[in-house]
A and B are shown apart, each in its own frame.
Chain A
Amino acid sequence: MSLWQSIPFACILLPLAAAALTAALPTRRARYVAGFVLLVQTVLSALLVARMASGNESYVYMMGHYPAPWGNEIRVGLLESVIGLFFSLVMTLSVLGGLFVLEQELLSDRHSLMSALLLLLSSALQAQVYTNDLFTAYVFVEIMTISAVGLIAAHDTGRGQVAAMRYMIMNLIGSALFLLSIILLYDLTGHLLMSPIHDSVGSLRGSGAYRLPLTVVVALMCGGLAIKSALWPFHTWVPDAYGTSTPAASAILSSLVSEGYVFLMVKLIWRMLGPETIVSTHVNDVILVFGIIGMISGSVGAIRQVNIKRLIAWSSVAQIGYMYMGIGLGTAAGLEAACFHILSHAAAKALLFLSANSLHAVSGSYRMEYIRGSGRRAPLAAAAFIVGALSLVGIPFTAGFASKWFFAQAGLAYGSLRMILVFAALVISTALNVVYFMGAIIRIFSPADDGLSRPDKRVGPLRYVALAGLAGLTVLLGCIPGQIMAWITEGLSRFG
């Protein structure tokens, strides 16, 4: 076991420890600690990816000295490390961009708690990426839920509280379903580690026994995670939750938290249950349909919004729909496209929320009438917004275009209903996205001589660094998607 192989463990433990530390520190120090820890985490993840990409095999890492099946283990491969790196990167940039401008929105005694919650969230994310057993997964899912609720509730307005309550209720329901499925699965197979469960389920499927319980397990598991990641029709809490939280929080919640659950689902489907199980129970068809409906209803909901933050939140619903469409196809290509979209959406959505916040800073409100003309007042932030918007529409040279490409190729099943559904959904969704994003862009650049009073603020340099970083990431994903996808494909092949 060489030292670099402990990197994932460090990525999980370090933020956890730092969270405890920052809870005790005053605000300023807490922020610096959080920023520093996340930066370190990112660098380590990058090192890990470099190692894995240069030909190393996936390996299993024992936590503690108890071997499986009694002890805990995590599994590390190319796919997990790429996803882990991305999550760290986006988290770092969001924190850089959002954590240091909190004064105006929170009570001062909550600030240090924010840093602690963010670190907890990061740790939980990394754990979900690398975990190889269900129990750990569940624990960290809960930790992530609680920290997310905390992040939402930190915004001390009435709406913030209501949003937090809604979020908590829906997520707890989802967690309950997830827990139920774990219990049933343990009952059926007697294991909590994913690899043995895979063999077990395989033999169950082959023998044809316990077909109904297996279906129920799959349904509950997918349902629970779907609720937590806001798949249609479980999406109603999204606009409030993302629309009312602080900038860093909304960026991270919408881009990372939901996607953490999606990646967990990918892992469960591929490694634990096996794609054949999912397909044989037809749960994936349901997911496909829900995903497509989500794509369309999310965009339709966004068109009617008058508040730019809620517009972006509704667009998240649509983007989650894309991912579930990919998963619902049930093929390796579909899962790979969904993984790529995790990356692209993470970058673009964080970018959008942060730039929207910058535009808000020079406009005084998130409402569209106030946002009008903010492009002239904060041109670089507006440029960042445009990059994010173009990515979600799917313009070439952005990450979103690459996602669309991979989804289309995944859907290309030469003459089946599925292909027509996927194609039609992509076209309609593109058109709908154009409607509201073009509307927003036009609004941002219109001349604002309407007499509304706007604050005379400037955007801080650290925010610009974050925006530039995220925009660069989006464009990079758009320009060399082939390379990234090659890693994902290779990683997925070794994932099982």
Chain B
Amino acid sequence: MLIVCILLPLLGGALLPLGRFPERSRLRGILTEAVVCLTSVLIAVALFRGIPLEWTLWEVFPGAVIAFRCDGMSSVFLGLIAFLWPLASLYGFSYMEHEHRPNAFFAWYTICYGITVCVASAGNLFTMYLAFECLTLITLPLVWHKWNEESVAAARKYALYVLGAAALGFLALVSLTALGGADFRPGGVLPAEIWAAHGDLLRALYVLAFLGFGVKAAVLPFSSWLPTASAAPTPVTALLHAVAVVNAGAFCVARVTWFSFGPEMLAGTWAQTAVLLIACCTVVICSALAVRENHLKRRLAWSTASNLSYILVGVALMTGEGLTGALSHLVIHGLMKIVLFFAAGAILVRSGKEYVSEVRGFARPMPFVCACFSVCAVAVVGIPPLSGFVSKWILLEAAIHTGRASGIFAGACLIISSVLTAVYLLSVVTAFYFRPLSEENRAWGAEHHDPDLRMKLPMALITALVVILGFWSEPLVTFIRSLVP
């Protein structure tokens, strides 16, 4: 079953360019959407029916086997991407009518789906690392798709940062395999004797692994690739850089912490202090940089960097509650942030405007888009009863329940970041509604410019889900709590 879920998008995407569809082709869209939807449906069926998703391939190195196995954590991530990928593809069809070479674009886009499924369902550290690296490579053509200076520079930076930093994760991988534990086991895979013999080395390796996998989640000091990558077309930034790629990074860090090294041996040590400090600094500093950023998509990218580190703070707290908060935020933030990017993309496509100072008064010509943006912006700030508050609260609770000063520090950082988030997001909302259109936009702004249904439907659906999850978050939270070892 898992084989199908992985190979279907991989092959479907790879074979797409053979169809040689013309630039504006509905058939390509229908085929792509069919492949993606089918995969999502299969995943959903497997998750709900409890069908085990497993696939073991061959042993590449002694002690390192390529094996896939879905457990509770995988199902959370898989559920998120399975839900979002068809909607993002739908949005992409409408968006890419304004760009070139859509065949290549959708080919890589769909292949990326398959690779992300691989990352989510990796059964051991080795497979996860392999899928992680492949994900970087597959997303590169998407980032440089436009082939202008900006995109190429963004792609180079992305490649350098992520591939370079992944080498740090590689070191941890090799060392763990040598010490006998490339597998995933809840609570850590290495026995206590090995920890006793090589404690300091292992802790240092953990910090390296955190940085190495966390670079995809834009931790400091490797955050700046994410705003630069917003030079890519919006469907790429929306799905990949707000949901799939960065979430993959955070997911990998959570896996490494809980299933490779194990929180028991790390909690209370200098390793935990180091990673918690890194995550907290990212939370605050990236929020501050978002306030200063005037380009809308880059502002959202800094916001993503900051929010991803909320997840990493939850992981770094090394308690079950922290992990619950982290996984909740993974899901909820993914939903909220993708709508924000969708809206920014719709604005870009319809009006050509990219800067916050240029979008004043856009509530009149684009009411639907601005309404969705506003709702999700309020959710990201974390105002109850929208769902952003739920994950934030769980993280705060987890922080205080650790009983240590570091927990209070983490909680304070999260709250400072919320204030900054309110500033940089709600100022955009007020610009939409409470500022008059600028001179050059006045003629354009006299008519309605809301995008077509293919862009509106995903935005509406996901915004509705964000609101509903706020009032009805119990099932999700209870489910996640049950997964945590």
Q: Residues 43-77 of chain B: 1 if any A CB is under 8 Å from the residue's CB, otherwise 0?
A: 00000000000000011111000000000000000
Q: Which residues of B contact A405 (CB under 8 A)?
A: 61, 174
| Given A438-B159, A442-B152, A482-B61: A431 and B174 interface contact (C-beta under 8 Å) | no
B144 on the A face (CB < 8 A): yes
Q: Please name the residue on chain A nearest to B57 by beta carbon.
A: A479
A446 on the B face (CB < 8 A): yes
Could you tell me if A434 and B62 are in contact, using CB atoms closer than 8 angstroms?
no
State how many angstroms separate the Cβ of A248 from the closest Cβ of chain B.
Answer: 30
Q: List residues of B (283-326) whose CB comes within 8 Å of A's CBs.
A: none
Q: Is the interface of A mostly helix, strand, loop or mixed?
A: helix
Q: Please name the residue on chain B nearest to A415 by beta carbon.
A: B201
| Given A412-B175, A414-B198, A415-B198: A396 and B129 interface contact (C-beta under 8 Å) | yes
Q: Please name the residue on chain A nearest to B160 by beta carbon.
A: A434
Cα-based distance from A397 to B144 in the complex (angstroms): 24
State how many angstroms separate the Cβ of B365 from the closest Cβ of chain A.
Answer: 34
Could you tell me if B160 and A396 are in contact, using CB atoms closer than 8 angstroms?
no
Could you tell me if A431 and B160 are in contact, using CB atoms closer than 8 angstroms?
yes
State how many angstroms separate the Cβ of B155 from the closest Cβ of chain A.
Answer: 7
Could you tell me if A479 and B156 are in contact, using CB atoms closer than 8 angstroms?
no
Give the residue of B137, B165, B174, B198 whose beta carbon is less than 8 angstroms from that of A408. Answer: B174
Could you tell me if B171 and A439 are in contact, using CB atoms closer than 8 angstroms?
no
Cα-based distance from A208 to B170 in the complex (angstroms): 43
Q: Residues 412-447 of chain A: 1 if any B CB is under 8 Å from the residue's CB, otherwise 0?
A: 101100000001001100110011001100100011
State how many angstroms separate the Cβ of B215 from the closest Cβ of chain A.
Answer: 11
Could you tell me if A434 and B152 are in contact, using CB atoms closer than 8 angstroms?
no
A393 on the B face (CB < 8 A): yes
A480 on the B face (CB < 8 A): yes
A404 on the B face (CB < 8 A): yes
Could you tell me if A434 and B159 are in contact, using CB atoms closer than 8 angstroms?
yes
State how many angstroms separate the Cβ of A140 from the closest Cβ of chain B.
Answer: 35
Could you tell me if A408 and B171 are in contact, using CB atoms closer than 8 angstroms?
yes
A204 on the B face (CB < 8 A): no
Q: Is the interface of B mostly helix, strand, loop or mixed?
A: helix
Q: List residues of A (454-496) whose CB comes within 8 Å of B's CBs.
A: 479-482, 485
Q: List residues of B (248-266) whose CB comes within 8 Å of A's CBs.
A: none
Give the residue of B134, B167, B171 whose beta carbon is less than 8 angstroms from that of A396. Answer: B134
Q: Which residues of B contact A136 (CB under 8 A)?
A: none
**Interface core residue of A402, A408, A439, A481 (most chain B CB under 10 Å):** A408
Q: List residues of A (339-394) whose CB comes within 8 Å of B's CBs.
A: 390, 393-394
Could you tell me if A442 and B144 are in contact, using CB atoms closer than 8 angstroms?
yes
Cα-based distance from A407 to B77 in the complex (angstroms): 34
Give the residue of A412, A430, A481 whose beta carbon is less than 8 angstroms from that of B174. Answer: A412
Could you tell me if B147 and A447 are in contact, using CB atoms closer than 8 angstroms?
yes
Could you tell me if B152 and A427 are in contact, using CB atoms closer than 8 angstroms?
no
A409 on the B face (CB < 8 A): yes
State how many angstroms separate the Cβ of B2 from the closest Cβ of chain A.
Answer: 19
Could you tell me if B164 and A427 are in contact, using CB atoms closer than 8 angstroms?
yes
Q: Which residues of B contact A481 (CB under 8 A)?
A: 60-61
Q: Which residues of B contact A414 (CB under 8 A)?
A: 198, 201
Cα-based distance from A395 to B129 in the complex (angstroms): 10
Q: Residues 130-171 of chain B: 1 if any A CB is under 8 Å from the residue's CB, otherwise 0?
A: 100110010000001001000010011001100111011011
- Interface CB pairs A-B, < 8 A, 16: A390-B137, A393-B163, A395-B133, A405-B61, A408-B175, A415-B201, A423-B171, A426-B171, A430-B163, A430-B167, A431-B160, A431-B164, A435-B156, A446-B152, A485-B61, A485-B62
Q: A438-B159, A438-B163, A482-B60 are in contact. List 14 more A-B contacts (CB 8 A).
A: A393-B163, A394-B167, A394-B170, A412-B178, A415-B201, A423-B171, A426-B167, A426-B171, A427-B164, A427-B168, A434-B164, A435-B156, A446-B147, A482-B62
